[in-house]
Structure 1
Amino acid sequence: MLRSTNTLVSHLLHQQRQGQQWGWCLSRRWLVKVRLKWVKNRGLDHIIDRDTDIKAACLLKDAIAAAPSGFVPARSLTPLQKTLGLTVPVLRFLRRYPTLFCELPHPRFPSLPTFSLAPAALLLHRRERAAFEAALSDDAAHRVARLLMMARSRALSLATLFPLRYDLGLPTDFPSALPAARPDLFRLSRRPTDGAPLLSLTSWPDHLAVSALQLRHQNTLAQPSYQDLKKPFSSSAAPLAFPMSFPRGYGSMKKVKAWMEDFHRLPYVSPYEDASGLDPESELMEKHVVGVLHELLSLTIHKKTKRNYMRSLREELGLPHKFTRVFTRYPGIFYLSLKCKTTTVVLREGYQRGKLVDQHPLALVREKFYYVMRTGVLYRGKGTTKLVLEEDDLLGEGNSLKGQTEQVTIDNEEQDAYDDENLTGTDEDVDVSDNNDEEFYELDDSDDELGSDEG
């Protein structure tokens, strides 16, 4: 694999130097005078706002479920504020959702706010655990294996992987669970320099070294014309095009169209190939970096993650120091959101009409979390909505949840109607020139920071 990869890179560089088939790959980008406005997408911003609450509820649920006593004082959860990404205090968040978190007096200190899991939260916790177990040895293992295959050392520290746990759909005990479930792929080790625990790849599964973009174009790659084009290159050297969904007005710009056509004609060097021999200032390397970031987001359950989490992978993935410019230079592929006092990167192709295109089973369980949260939300000054959630209506199981007063059925038809009304954001892009604070970026200039990351 390494020999074929080095042959590919050497051959491309030779062609570039000779100015032959791929000689134009190192040409400098000519589109330097186009100035584009940063465009806000209300539908994707709504999804990020909603998913922030879902993630916070799931992480708080995990913290309470892990307590031997079954309850946790609120002050013990306060240090999680930054990790949760909440813009409100943890105590206020817990009290906002009584259908998930039950407040009770502390056994020894009655005035200390303490929380346990409500029956609906316990039910959803069991369903989430079942989803983890079903996907651990196959789907989740393959996601992590592909991430390690993109890393230069074929290993990543647990400190780097833990922030990505929720996005990759991993259980809290994944450092021990993954090597136990797939010893043929993973092992725990220590970094020689500082002894930090690492999750390492034990073998190179060739069948996993296929990117999401290659899978999308697999029918095209199988055509005879592409088979001839690939020789003597590897299969990843074909000029594959990324799916584009430009903000309103961008796609009709002639210069942008011409630039994107040139970009798509560049050969695609897979994120699983060794690209260390490519010129870091070349357009070919830039397309490779776009491919790495595209693949990383494709591995996530919700096709998005925080920019800070990606920054922690920068050296291992061979990303440039200021890689944020890649997101702003390719607004048809990526979307940067500044919601919730952080910067989130979204893969545009992952969403249509405010919903995930490919619904992972774990994402469906998390949607149930949001429905239960919203049906029992406590609005300030309006009192508490009390519910009786029938378990068989909620998730198809036969027992009822007791101790509440008003019955609400949660069948699929009702939840779909609720989702259409409350959860589905539009894909409409909003030009921020409508606001007083306009933000601009240029295609060739670096954007150091678009927002401050909190977590």
Structure 2
Amino acid sequence: MLFHSHSISSRFKASRNSTAIRVWIQFTASISSLKVVWRRDRKLDQAIENDKAWRQCAKVVKEVFNEPGEVIPLRYLEKRRERLRLPIKIQTFLSRNPGLFDVYYDRIKPNTEPVKFLKLSDRLQRLLVEEQRIYLENEPLLVAKLCKLLMMSKDNVVNADKLLHVKREFGFPNDFLENLVPKYPEYFKLNGSPGEGNSFLELVSWNPKFARSVIEQRADEESELTGIKINPSFNWKLPPGFLIRKEMREWIRDWMELPYISPYEDASNLNQASQEMEKRTVGVFHELLSLSLYKRIPVPILGKFTEEYRFSNAFSSVFTRHSGIFYLSLKGGIKTAILREAYKEDELINRDPLLQINDNFISLLAEGHKLRVEQLNLKKQAVQNSTTPNTGYPIVMQMK
């Protein structure tokens, strides 16, 4: 591999370049002291805030969907509000989001009084059917993502339960281990039973076409376009108003000049405290965020994969140390790593095809909100029509 045949000492002896010497001394002696003051990026925080409402609705839908028969008594759902972190009563939630559920009366037990039940609306059911079509249409993308996650990991093996925890971040369907993985025995082997804590997904064969990172693909495209060999490198740019100290700027400049290390390279021989490992770690985070749906992942979720991807215990400092590549949001009291280059203000630049599933759900919510506004306007108009324009008193009182 690229760096396996060159130790740090041999690189040091091979080059008497003062810049290389300074980089190595800085890295080993003061990497822990290189601090970047965290500053809020309001646009990227807003990107997280934009998703807050629909994610809450999706959580309630999932709760009903997972019930036997996909129905639930309204009062049962009301008791789960605290767990769902829903700040309003279920009845209020239903009135604010019409079109998600149908309300009907049924008996919980044969001899009891009928109570309100909720079931998924017909429109929501059609959306779920469309969701399956989108998954099937994008199955090659799902396979590629899953292969890439395994190819970056140590020994090309990842705990299956951990993969279940990140299915939402990468757009995998709920049943991908049961239905997607068995369809591709040439790529995947599932060992053990998911849910028992000792199940692992293993890569069976290495596909070279999957072993090209977003950074490398971008360099290839630029090289083809310009006819000039372009070396893979990170985009490093701070938004207006963000400043870092002079010594940190110099360190970043020298660090950026180091050769790019693909996250698909074998890193078993790299020293955890070496400059190469820092470069490789940033590359892994960049690739993971690039593969995610929204180009952002909560830091606690990334922390679950410390062993698989050889992250250090203090891995989250990478996001502030390289603040021109990443942004560490604190929105909602949760640290979230965001890929800066993926956003223009609070909007994604290149959208993952699997986001069509979420877009359809958001459109359904928007239709319901529009219907609610129309109903409120009709009620308001009815009240206005029942009063005289001059006195404001009801017509019946004017007659008296």
After TM superposition, the score normalised by the length of structure 1 is: 0.70
Letter in 1 for 2:213: S
* Equivalent position to 2:293, from 286, 301, 309: 301
Aligned-residue offset at 1:114: 3.9
Give 1:46-445 correspondences, 5 Å limit.
Answer: 46-73=46-73, 75=76, 86=85, 88=87, 91=90, 94-95=93-94, 96-108=96-108, 114-136=117-139, 138-190=140-192, 196-219=198-221, 240-250=232-242, 254-377=246-369, 384-385=372-373
* Equivalent position to 2:25, from 20, 24, 27: 27
Cα distance in 2 between the residues matched to 1:299 and 1:262: 28
After TM superposition, the score normalised by the length of structure 2 is: 0.78
Aligned-residue offset at 1:306: 1.3
Aligned-residue offset at 1:33: 7.6
Deviation by residue 1:398-451 (Cα, 9 ceiling, x = unmatched) = xxxxxxx99xxxxxxxxxxxxxxxxxxxxxxxxxxxxxxxxxxxxxxxxxxxxx
Deviation by residue 1:359-401 (Cα, 9 ceiling, x = unmatched) = 22321331232233244349xxxx95577xxxxxxxxxxxxxx
Q: Is the 8 A contact 1:98 1:118 kept in 2?
A: no
2:6 aligned with 1:11:
yes
Aligned-residue offset at 1:320: 0.5
Aligned-residue offset at 1:167: 1.3
Distance 1:272-1:21 versus aligned 2 partners, 3 A rule: farther
Choose between structure 1 and 2: higher helix proportion: 2
> Which residue of structure 2 aligns with residue 38 of structure 1?
38
**1:39 is paired with a residue of what secondary structure?**
coil
Letter in 2 for 1:13: I
The higher relative CO (CA closer than 8 Å, separation ≥ 6) is in: 1
Letter in 1 for 2:147: A
Distance 1:257-1:296 versus aligned 2 partners, 3 A rule: same
Structure 2: stretches of 5+ with no match in the other structure: 380-400
Cα distance in 1 between the residues matched to 2:210 and 2:223: 17
Percent identity over the alignment?
26
Q: Is the 8 A contact 1:26 1:284 kept in 2?
A: no
Q: Is the 8 A contact 1:81 1:89 kept in 2?
A: no
Q: Is the 8 A contact 1:334 1:346 kept in 2?
A: yes
Cα distance in 2 between the residues matched to 1:372 and 1:21: 63
Deviation by residue 1:341-363 (Cα, 9 ceiling, x = unmatched) = 32221111111132211122321
Cα distance in 1 between the residues matched to 2:57 and 2:307: 32
Distance 1:183-1:329 versus aligned 2 partners, 3 A rule: same
Aligned-residue offset at 1:120: 2.9
**2:138 is paired with a residue of what secondary structure?**
helix
**1:199 is paired with a residue of what secondary structure?**
strand
Q: Is the 8 A contact 1:99 1:372 kept in 2?
A: yes
**2:174 is paired with a residue of what secondary structure?**
coil
Cα distance in 2 between the residues matched to 1:150 and 1:94: 42
**2:350 is paired with a residue of what secondary structure?**
coil
Query: Between Structure 1 and Structure 2, how many residues are aligned?
Result: 364
Larger Rg: 2
> Which residue of structure 2 aligns with residue 397 of structure 1?
none
Aligned-residue offset at 1:14: 5.1
Q: Is the 8 A contact 2:297 2:338 kept in 1?
A: yes
Structure 1: stretches of 5+ with no match in the other structure: 228-237, 388-404, 407-455
**1:27 is paired with a residue of what secondary structure?**
helix
Letter in 2 for 1:28: Q
Cα distance in 2 between the residues matched to 1:16 and 1:307: 34
Q: Is the 8 A contact 1:251 1:257 kept in 2?
A: no
Deviation by residue 1:14-71 (Cα, 9 ceiling, x = unmatched) = 5334252895453324688876432222222222123243334335434433444231
Cα distance in 2 between the residues matched to 1:40 and 1:120: 40
Deviates more, 1:90-99 or 1:299-308: 90-99
Supply the RMSD in Å over aligned alpha carbons: 3.5
Deviates more, 1:283-292 or 1:28-37: 28-37
Letter in 2 for 1:99: G
Distance 1:135-1:219 versus aligned 2 partners, 3 A rule: closer
Aligned-residue offset at 1:251: 5.6
